[in-house]
Structure 1
Amino acid sequence: MTATRNEWFHERGNLARDGWESVVDGSLPGWAHTGIRVAKLSGEGLTLPAGDIERIVVPLAGGVTVELDGAAAAAWDGASSVELTGRASVFDGPTDVLYVGAGGGFTVRGTARIAIAEAPTGQPRPTRYIPAADVPVEVRGAGRDTRQVHNFGTPGALDAAALIVCEVITPGGNWSSHPAHKHDEHIAGHESRLEEIYYFEAAPNREFVAAGVVPDDGVDAFGSFVTYSSRAGEIDTHAVVRTGDIALVPYGYHGPAMAAPEYDLYYLNVMAGPDPERVWLISDDPRQAWLRDTWPAQGPDPRLPYAAAPIEGDER
């Protein structure tokens, strides 16, 4: 029997192009409103020209210098470059990020692993640097549904034209994107239409690292991710996810994202859509919505929030 390929899930490197490890943009069939680029830099630079597109530079591991073109610099304060300090890994708390609005281009250089979130738009916004200390950190859910959300690119934190971007840390054994939900219909005040990208990383759970039980010769860190159909379209993703993998959600219910007990799971969410209002409004799967009522009695997972921790030896 021949396996059926899921066009909405891409393992690390399957979308490599032009020096980038992964590129998601409008050249993919059925994809129109969001994009992401991921790269591991070893001192070289990668250039993204100006156009009708807005972007957020997100250091995943390490720091970078972002060299702005004239339009991007003028839309900020005239400085020609911005230093992003970054962090040791995605599991070491929030990072500083840089937003560059439509009409601005830049080159990013350094020794780091980076992601660039993108959305096509003709509406320019000012270039903005967001320090790590200013990133809103939310501990969402309760019990085994607790996760940590960094809301640096959400409407309350960033004046963007279309992009809605955040990152989520799910500690070992927990579930996130749960209950399963969707945002594929325009229902005023209740649900908005948003494409969504999930970019994943996984690493040994920090409790096992601290206990010294993680082997030195590498591990196969993983989690899992699920999508399923809604009235808007058919989709079926049941994937084991590892560092560098990407899941696309054009429509349908999505969740849970599950962290194996021994591994922490991270994902970067990039969302945008065709609706005139930039807002994240969701509808839970009505068969699962009841679980939110269990959260007040459980309380949040005391392991969160994650900040810097001695995670060493894992492959980024």
Structure 2
Amino acid sequence: MTQPCIHKAGQWDTITPEIAGWRYVSFSVKTLAPGETFTLPADEEEHAFVPLSGAVTASVEGDEIVFGGRASVFDGLGHTLYVGRDTEITVTAADAVELAIASAPATTKHPVRLVTPDDLPVEARGGGNATRQVATPIPPGFPADRLLVVEVWTPGGNWSSFPPHKHEHDHDGEAELEETYYYRLRDPERGWAIQRAYSPERDFELSEVVRDGDICTLPWAYHTTVAAHGHDLYYLNVLAGPAPERTLQAFQDPTLAPLQDGWPALGVDARVPFIPRYPEGAPSPEKD
């Protein structure tokens, strides 16, 4: 049986269904030198491109789309370019670039669409030391087939993805979804967090330190993350599943879910939101 697993930075290149032992989600991060180009041929998968740092130009369906530009994931909200199935795309790096690429098989072709920081709310979620900042460039209402993409920033010392939740069955209040957590730390040399995944019914427990560039594959299990004190954490979630209805419905651990009832009294951590919409001094593309 495929289990939740941490893949360490430097020991993974890409996550495929064959590697993860599931059916839908693929994920990789490409590092590009200035001017470097690569092409993804038209295939039966839809793709989402998220520059973690740097800017790129995408040539797709006769158009050139320039996007990205943040120095790191801690300098601004992300741009996301969605490209539907049966569509070739060529990407060229404007400068040194780290580019996350998420993919999933699709039955319906949807149009190319660029999501910019101006399209995203600067959202604080949770309360007390479970406060984090969330942006959802590809939410359930987005015109895509299966892909869902979420960016999350957690200040040092705070819990995230809390209360622990799971999405492994399709029924009321829960959706079956495969999920990846790709982690980056503001201090990549020393920063760390802890990822927990557990399933009482399967007698499964994973509690492991994660560092910059690690990735977790979650086919099932309750899961939650905590950033070490003083170490701000970012993770990029990619989700996809078999259900025809696009949803992020999750089932919370019933033993811990009541804790969120105390969040209004605790209030939102004053540090959140702590990631600006755009890097300081940088105009939005619409204002160029």
TM-score, normalised with respect to structure 2: 0.89
> Is residue 9–residue 237 contact of structure 1 (8 Å, CA) maintained in 2?
no
What residue in structure 2 maps to residue 88 of structure 1?
71
Aligned match for 2:99, one of 80, 94, 114: 114
Q: 1: CA distance between counterparts of 2:180 and 2:68?
A: 25
1:204-242: CA deviation from partner (whole Å, max 9, x where unpaired): 4xxxxxxxxxxxxx84111111101254x5643222111
Aligned match for 2:54, one of 43, 52, 62: 62
What residue in structure 2 maps to residue 183 of structure 1?
167
> Is residue 173–residue 260 contact of structure 1 (8 Å, CA) maintained in 2?
yes
What residue in structure 2 maps to residue 160 of structure 1?
144
> Is residue 136–residue 152 contact of structure 1 (8 Å, CA) maintained in 2?
no
Aligned match for 1:271, one of 227, 239, 255: 239
Matched, 1:299 2:267: yes
Matched, 1:192 2:160: no
Aligned pair in 2 of structure 1 residues 115, 230: CA closer, same or farther (>3 Å)? farther
Aligned pair in 2 of structure 1 residues 309, 64: CA closer, same or farther (>3 Å)? closer
Q: 1: CA distance between counterparts of 2:84 and 2:203?
A: 34
Aligned match for 2:216, one of 236, 239, 247: 247
Matched, 1:229 2:199: yes
What residue in structure 1 maps to residue 25 of structure 2?
34
Aligned match for 1:10, one of 7, 10, 17: 7
Aligned pair in 2 of structure 1 residues 219, 13: CA closer, same or farther (>3 Å)? closer
Matched, 1:280 2:248: yes
Q: 2: CA distance between counterparts of 1:160 and 1:277?
A: 11
- Mark the runs of 5 or more structure 1 residues left unpaired by the alignment: 1-5, 17-22, 205-217, 311-316
What residue in structure 2 maps to residue 25 of structure 1?
16
> Is residue 4–residue 219 contact of structure 2 (8 Å, CA) maintained in 1?
no
Q: 2: CA distance between counterparts of 1:300 and 1:161?
A: 34
Q: CA deviation at 1:118?
A: 1.1
> Is residue 234–residue 252 contact of structure 1 (8 Å, CA) maintained in 2?
no
Q: 2: CA distance between counterparts of 1:127 and 1:29?
A: 27
> Is residue 4–residue 197 contact of structure 2 (8 Å, CA) maintained in 1?
no
What residue in structure 2 maps to residue 213 of structure 1?
none
Q: 1: CA distance between counterparts of 2:21 and 2:68?
A: 36
> Is residue 4–residue 216 contact of structure 2 (8 Å, CA) maintained in 1?
no
What residue in structure 2 maps to residue 207 of structure 1?
none
Alpha-carbon RMSD = 1.8
Provide the secondary structure at the position in 1 that maps to 2:108: coil
Which residue identity is paired with 2:159?
A: W
Which residue identity is paired with 1:269?
A: N
1:60-91: CA deviation from partner (whole Å, max 9, x where unpaired): 011111122xxxx1xxxx41x21113311111
Q: CA deviation at 1:167?
A: 0.6
Q: 2: CA distance between counterparts of 1:138 and 1:28?
A: 33
Aligned residues: 273
1:82-141: CA deviation from partner (whole Å, max 9, x where unpaired): 111331111122122210011112122212111011111121100001122112332100
Identity %: 42
Which residue identity is paired with 2:114?
A: Y
Aligned pair in 2 of structure 1 residues 309, 240: CA closer, same or farther (>3 Å)? farther
Q: CA deviation at 1:309?
A: 6.8
Deviation above 4 Å: which 4+ runs of structure 1? none
Provide the secondary structure at the position in 2 that maps to 1:291: helix
More moved, 290-299 vs 85-94: 85-94
Provide the secondary structure at the position in 1 that maps to 2:162: coil
Q: 1: CA distance between counterparts of 2:20 and 2:236?
A: 22
Which residue identity is paired with 1:159?
A: P
Aligned pair in 2 of structure 1 residues 283, 173: CA closer, same or farther (>3 Å)? same
Matched, 1:132 2:132: no
Matched, 1:102 2:85: yes
> Is residue 64–residue 109 contact of structure 1 (8 Å, CA) maintained in 2?
yes
